[in-house]
Amino acid sequence: MAGQTPINIDGAILEGGGQSLRVSTSLSCIVGKSIRVFNIRAGRTTPGLRSVPQHLSGLIAVRDLCGGSLLGGDVGSLEITFQPGPVRGGQLIADTHTAGSVCLLLQVTLPCALFSASPSCLTLRGGTNADMAPQLDYMLQVFKPIAEKFGVKFDCIVKRRGYYPKGGGEVVVKVSPIGAIKPIILTERGDVTKVFGRAFVIMLCICIYIYIYLLLPIINDDFGCAGVPADKVGVQASEMLIHNLHHGGCVDDYLQDQLIIFMALAQGVSRVLTGPITLHTQTAIHFAEQLTQDHRTLPKGEEEDSYDSSKGGGHSVRD
């Protein structure tokens, strides 16, 4: 790895946000290829690494997991160079110091910890239920069961929840190393028999009575922002649920892109039935193909259900 010519990663491609950084950094760590990421978050109003959420915290966490080197990892940086070392495992603390999403920290660190030489214990601090990010409950009840089909094993202990603007949440994630990721075939959804909803309220009158306890593992709703009436939150969540039910896919719009890294690393062909491919998914696919031996066939249609078929590179723990 030392002396490698870094692979150039254009962070402005497609989604143009923090996802480009998360996917490319995780894959760099796992496959042992140095990267240079430029145009970081070029598609955002405030480009570059931000101090408030999880972008810089995630980079530092991956660096520490593998004992790598990170150049340009400063607030506002538009470019970084990352040179990974062998993933070591052990204890790691990643703290956003704000309400930055612990789930996005998990997204960038979990794949790396799977390929470590020993078990990992990740202490992640920030917002557990943050805006514009996966909710912790979604990660545990939707993402985790599907990840387990790849052979991924991790346990998550919720020490404390954290919300905007203070954060203060803490989760402890224990990750077992994996010899190899198994491919999955997920092409038949079956009949939907139950729907499960979960709502969180903070500093609201206890007289507000919530009666939602219905089980369908396909929705990630972070609409509950301050100033949004509860009835509108409910309508938006319902519309999202109906959309995901209607398209007939086996995964929802928010799970698509989170599976790409595992499909790209799996030993064999994975096939997943989705709805229309999202921009986040297209972005994850682009960088997975750039950094791994992933070979993928993907339909171009945006309105019809899509089969995301991937022949992974079959990676294992590096020395």
CATH number at residue 292: 3.65.10.20
Domain range for 45 is 7-188+250-311
Identify the three-state secondary structure at position 136.
Answer: helix
Catalytic residue check, 280: yes
The predicted structure's pLDDT at residue 203: 63
What is the SS3 string spanning 44-98?
CCCCCCCCCCCHHHHHHHHHHHHCCEEECCCCCCCCEEEECCCCCCEEEEEECCC
The predicted structure's pLDDT at residue 222: 53
Instruction: Tell me, yes or no, whether 129 lies in a domain.
Output: yes
Known binding residues for ATP:
107, 254-258
Instruction: Tell me, yes or no, whether 316 lies in a domain.
Output: no
Instruction: Tell me, yes or no, whether 82 lies in a domain.
Output: yes
The predicted structure's pLDDT at residue 221: 53
The predicted structure's pLDDT at residue 232: 72
**How many angstroms separate the CA atoms of 180 and 174, rounded?**
18
Instruction: Tell me, yes or no, whether 277 lies in a domain.
Output: yes
Tally of residues, the chain: 319
The predicted structure's pLDDT at residue 300: 45
Domain count, the chain: 1
Instruction: Tell me, yes or no, whether 149 lies in a domain.
Output: yes
Tokens matching residue 175: 């990750």
- Helix, strand, coil share (%) of the chain residues, nearest 5: 30, 20, 50
Instruction: Tell me, yes or no, whether 245 lies in a domain.
Output: no
In 3D, which of 150, 196, 147 has the Cα closest to residue 173?
Answer: 147
The predicted structure's pLDDT at residue 216: 41
Marked catalytic residue, from 97, 246, 280, 286: 280
Query: Are 306 and 297 spatial neighbours (Cβ–Cβ below 8 Å)?
Result: no
List of the chain residues with pLDDT < 70: 1-3, 50-53, 201-231, 233, 294-311, 313-319
Instruction: Tell me, yes or no, whether 162 lies in a domain.
Output: yes
Instruction: Tell me, yes or no, whether 53 lies in a domain.
Output: yes
Task: Assign residue 297 a region (left: φ > 0; alpha: ψ between -120 and 50; beta: otherwise).
Answer: beta
